[in-house]
Chains A and B, each alone.
Chain A
Amino acid sequence: MTRILYFGRVAEKLGTEGALELPAEGLTLREIRRRLADQDEVAADALIRSDVRASVDQVIAGEDALARPDQEIAFFSIFSGG
């Protein structure tokens, strides 16, 4: 299982991390988001939102970006700023 990190409003609803089985060749962030959302209603509500962004290896990435099991994947609400 690959660890998925959550921050901000997403972490408030789902805790600070989740997990997903990823194939070795990876999946797009869109597909990862959909599979996490399919786990339950709370996850769907927390993740299927236009203001929830994703990052791969700590770089914010678009929905078409591919993430492999050995990469760090995170979903989070928009930054509050300091």
Chain B
Amino acid sequence: MDVRLVFGPLSPAAELEAFLAGRTGDGAVVSFTGLARGTSRDGSTVAALTLDHYPGMTERSMRDIAEAAAARFQVEDLIVAHRCGEITPGETIVFVATASPHRRTAFEAADYLMDRLKTEAAFWKRETGPTGARWIEPVDEDRAALARWKDKTP
């Protein structure tokens, strides 16, 4: 398991290549790349996204989520790499990959990881646009996505 807070650029291609290297036991690897969007929910332009973190607490929140995914699904390995600091549109914010003998488990574990990271990871996020900076908090859609996992066993 590789859980990392990343302070500079994050390359999903390099991460995936490293995750795949030498992997012979698993038949399925699923990866997800989250990119910073250039437009806000209301359609306004976003110049940059800034993610603040609490050193120690943020890493632990990511690790807790990763460990819960590993315990819940039959994944052999997983990676969670999440950026903090200032991120410009088009850049990768988060990269997640899961490896499993079977594809369904790998898909589900990656989906679960992202739903929990989007709502529960200890970050404070703000968008900077033409009218200044604005804090971003989880929306109902994110909470509904998370709730899907509450009463369901894989």
Contacts and interface: CB of A to CB of B under 8 A. Distances in A.
Interface of A: 5, 7-9, 11-12, 55, 58, 74, 76-82
Interface of B: 34, 51-52, 54, 56-57, 60-61, 82, 93-94, 117-126, 135-138, 142
Contacts of A11: 52, 124
B124 A7 contact: yes
Contacts of A7: 52, 54, 124
The 9 closest A-B pairs by CB, nearest first: A8-B124, A80-B125, A82-B121, A82-B117, A58-B57, A81-B119, A81-B118, A81-B138, A80-B124
Contact of B54 (A5, A78, A81, A82): A5
A11 to B, nearest CB: 7
B68 to A, nearest CB: 15
B51 to A, nearest CB: 7
A29 B82 CA distance: 31
Contacts of B94: 82
22 contacts: A7-B52, A7-B124, A8-B52, A11-B52, A58-B57, A74-B57, A77-B124, A79-B61, A79-B120, A79-B123, A80-B124, A81-B118, A81-B119, A81-B121, A81-B125, A81-B138, A81-B142, A82-B34, A82-B94, A82-B121, A82-B123, A82-B125
Given A7-B54, A82-B51, 8 more contacts: A79-B119, A79-B138, A80-B124, A80-B138, A81-B117, A81-B119, A81-B121, A81-B137
B34 to A, nearest CB: 8
Nearest to B116: A81
Contacts of B61: 79
Nearest to B142: A81
Nearest to B59: A58
B123 A78 contact: no
Contacts of B93: 82
B40 to A, nearest CB: 14
A80 B54 contact: no
Contacts of A80: 51, 123-126, 135-138
Contact of A78 (B51, B118, B137): B137
A41 B138 CA distance: 28
